[in-house]
Chain A
Amino acid sequence: MRALRVVALGYLAVMLVVPLGVVAYKTFEPGLGAVWESITTPAAIHAFWLTVEVAAIAVPLNAVFGVVTALVLVRSDVRGKRLLEALIDLPFAISPVVVGLALVLLYGRTGWFADLPFQVIFSLPGIVLATVFVTLPFVVREVVPVLREVGDDQEQAAATLGASRAQTFRRITLPSIRWGLVYGVVLSTARAIGEFGAVSVVSGKVSGETETLTLLVEKRFTNFDLAGAYAASTLLALLALATLVAMTLLNRRKDPA
């Protein structure tokens, strides 16, 4: 057992802790003042809020879609459920860069939907679409097993006690899948703020306009602004951490016993 523990912890250390530690160390090496300066440039502030905005649209969308889809997959007996299941996993299988290219082909200047009244590619809608695509499976994949495990006994009991479908969902189903939903939302958020490939293709990387935090990190890195890249990375990590903490706190408050 001890050997296994050493292997597991060693693996985590080499693969996770050391790289992240180096980033944190490098970030604060030039001193706090320098860090503050590099994350408060107009471009950085804009990138930060753009990232938050994109996540705030994409994640709730996928949370709602995810719960509905999970209900269809587990509770109904519609035809084509297997096809639906396979489709849901598609974003896991496809490279984000390909997703980005597909969106450009669809919504770009020569695409099928080129005549929309607003611009999609190289602007916010495109970034949101790309993010929705890549984060689509998380909530479904987390909620489906929980729904299966919980079973439909409680929902049937609620129905015999006079609850309508909506009441049953709100009072019984939703509370019982809460943890799966929260975990799915946390994973989606992490992916949404960390997405690079698809977003980099559709955004156009216009600084101060369509540049998200990950794109900013990449730009600074390729421009040999290593300290700036580290600082932006740390900001990204803090954002992810904040989501995790917020969701945990939110859930604990409602958690019985």
Chain B
Amino acid sequence: MISVSSATKRYGDFAALDDVSIDVEPGSLTALLGPSGSGKSTLLRVIAGLEEPDAGAVVLEGRDVTYVHPQQRGVGFVFQHYAAFKHLTVRDNVAFGLQIRKRPKAEIAAKVDELLEVVGLSGFQRRYPSQLSGGQRQRMALARALAVEPKVLLLDEPFGALDANVRAELRAWLRRLHDEVHVTTVLVTHDQEEAMELADRIVLLNHGRVEQVGAPRELYDAPASDFVMGFLGPVARVQGGLVRPHDVAVLVEPDGDGAVEAQGRRGRHRLPAAAGTGVQRRVTQDSGSSASGCSSAGRLPAARSASVTCSTTPRRLERTAIHTCCSGAALPA
């Protein structure tokens, strides 16, 4: 159980944390999500004791640790850039915390073997970090953090420095590991997909404040603010309100003006057709078949109603696609 109450941290005029309070359930995997500069890493470092808050308190397992040195907090911390001990072998990296605790040699050896097995680095005991790939280094760092059996595991953008394939692989692997080990885990990420896929709960931060806390589905389906909605998935602005593109339906009416209806949180919006530039889009018909075309040139088969998915990136969708899709002047009756 991690409990942070009213944590505030300032760097000069910049408020990295502005009266932040969160509770993390024991055994859960919580993601601190937010854009860069939102204070998510600072919050994690405050929990670890690597940063001291200007005000507020941190309670780990019922003990107030606000001013306790990280050495005595019993947390495991994994850094974005691995922080591997470059002059030590993989084995000695993982054994570090246990050697500091002066555990018997046999016990250390057994524990290291076991952990390297778990993280899939069994054959790499005598290697140095420089001889490992980024993904392997991060798995070693995880094993090192887990070796001391921390009460909480804190991960600061652990996959941020890895390429996309390795990132996806490690993400799935971390989820499995968490399901097995059940250590309370807090993960910092700016990647909403990563947070949605991994976390039981998401704490969404912005400008040093908590925007919303909840299960991924809750945040996606019932966002507390436009910021939350915009951060957690593709959105389009329709008549001043934000909607998810999959909630946009194009209704083709008998008079053939090709109006667009958008199903948003605030009800249905109906937009009359207008002239627009061409944009690639796909129309899924009632029958389930789909057709592509350009709004200005393509001739789409008639349908009583069809949903439009625009095959552009969310950001472009927000700015241009919906308007041009909406302006489906060429949508035939």
Interface positions of A (Cβ within 8 A of B): 153-154, 156-164, 167, 171-172, 175-176, 178, 256-257
Interface pair A162/B101, CB less than 8 Å apart: yes
Q: Can you list 6 pairs linking A and B with CB atoms under 8 Å apart? A: A157-B77, A157-B83, A161-B96, A162-B72, A176-B87, A256-B87
A175-B87, A176-B86, A256-B89 as given contacts; A158 in contact with B50, CB under 8 Å = no
B24 to chain A, nearest CB (A): 17
Interface pair A157/B79, CB less than 8 Å apart: yes
Interface pair B83/A154, CB less than 8 Å apart: yes
Q: Is B236 at the interface (CB under 8 A from chain A)?
A: no
Complex alpha-carbon distance, A159 and B97, angstroms: 9
Q: Which residues of A contact B265 (CB under 8 A)?
A: none
Q: Which residues of B contact A154 (CB under 8 A)?
A: 83-86
**Number of B interface residues, CB 8 Å?**
31
Interface pair B101/A156, CB less than 8 Å apart: no
A156-B50, A176-B87 as given contacts; A161 in contact with B79, CB under 8 Å = no
Residue of A at shortest CB range from B69? A159
Residue of B at shortest CB range from A153? B83
- Which 8 pairs show the lowest CB-CB distances between chains A and B? A153-B83, A161-B97, A157-B83, A160-B77, A175-B87, A159-B70, A162-B100, A160-B70
Interface positions of B (Cβ within 8 A of A): 48-50, 69-73, 75-77, 79, 81-89, 96-97, 100-101, 128, 131, 141, 144-145, 148
Interface pair A161/B144, CB less than 8 Å apart: yes
Among the listed A160, A164, A176, which residue makes an inter-chain contact with B48, where contact means beta carbons less than 8 Å apart?
A160
Residue of B at shortest CB range from A178? B87
Among the listed A156, A161, A178, which residue makes an inter-chain contact with B100, where contact means beta carbons less than 8 Å apart?
A161
Complex alpha-carbon distance, A254 and B89, angstroms: 13
Residue of A at shortest CB range from B96? A161
Interface pair A161/B148, CB less than 8 Å apart: yes
Interface pair A158/B96, CB less than 8 Å apart: yes
Complex alpha-carbon distance, A157 and B87, angstroms: 14
Interface pair A160/B87, CB less than 8 Å apart: no
Q: Which residues of B contact A162 (CB under 8 A)?
A: 71-72, 97, 100-101, 148
Interface pair B79/A153, CB less than 8 Å apart: yes
Among the listed B69, B72, B85, B128, which residue makes an inter-chain contact with A157, where contact means beta carbons less than 8 Å apart?
B85
A171 to chain B, nearest CB (A): 8
Q: Which residues of A contact B50 (CB under 8 A)?
A: 156, 159-160
Interface pair A257/B73, CB less than 8 Å apart: no
